[in-house]
Structure 1
Amino acid sequence: MARSSSYPPELRCRAVRMVAEVLGDYPNESAALRAVAQKLGIGSAEPLRHWGRQDQVDFGQRPGTTMEESAQIKAMKKEIAELKRASEILKAAASFFAAELDRPHLSS
């Protein structure tokens, strides 16, 4: 799973739109990406390239995992981890109580 971006979502959306708008003004996509990155003060064109690819995935223009699907997967993994912890606690409690029932008790 990729790390979260230090750039705000609004900047990412704006950058993707800008690249799409100026693409025809440059000889290739890389040149357009570099120009927009420079205009927006982004150190490299690679984040813009990634945002554009993710945008295409999110809109069904390219195969891959959408941002929504990634968020769902992350939430499910967290829930599974919590369920595993709860299950371990319940197993330990069941073992404890089973041992208590098997132990002979002194009657008063």
Structure 2
Amino acid sequence: MAAPRKYSVELQLRATRIAMHARKDPESARGAIKRVTDQLGVHPEALRNWVRQAEIDGGVQPGTTTDRAQRLAKLEVRQLRRVNEVADPGSPARSPHRRRTRPGRVGGGAGRPTSAAHTGPPASRGVLPSR
């Protein structure tokens, strides 16, 4: 879930439009963002980022457009899901009826070895043979 927006979309569009218009006029270009942020109560960096992205989307500046960034994000999510499916096709998330067991545990409970673990010669149990 995305974080809540501090500024409404309408305020963002309005502030961006006003700032871009003010920057086109050579007499008001200097300090335009600061004036607009003071008038509308928006953080200067937020407005600066909105204007920069609007210029990229409009083809004025080079960079990744908003549409392209959204398409790339969707593609990345799709690819990650595909990789996860290939990497672990039998995961419990995909097989709800599969019982999860702990590896290396055979009966006994609480970490105690079972009697089957004590089979074999005495030396294998850590007991040295007497002479």
TM-score of the alignment, normalized to the shorter chain, above 0.5: yes
Q: Deviations over 1:35-86 (max 9, x none)?
A: 11111111x3111111111001101111100011111111011101110111
Q: Equivalents in 1 of 2:79, 2:12: separation in Å?
A: 31
Question: How many equivalent pairs are there?
Answer: 87
Residue 100 of structure 1 is matched in structure 2 by: none
Residue 51 of structure 2 is matched in structure 1 by: 52
TM-score when scaled to structure 1?
0.68
Q: Equivalents in 2 of 1:32, 1:80: separation in Å?
A: 42
Q: C-alpha root-mean-square deviation of aligned residues, in Å?
A: 2.3
Residue 17 of structure 1 is matched in structure 2 by: 17
Using the TM superposition, give the Cα deviation of residue 27 of structure 1 relative to its aligned residue in structure 2, in angstroms: 5.8
Q: Deviations over 1:16-38 (max 9, x none)?
A: 1111333435360xx21111111
Change (3 A) 1:61 1:4: farther
Identity across aligned pairs (percent)? 25
CA contact (8 A) 2:37 2:47 kept: yes
- Structure of larger gyration radius: 2
Residue 98 of structure 2 is matched in structure 1 by: none
TM-score when scaled to structure 2?
0.57
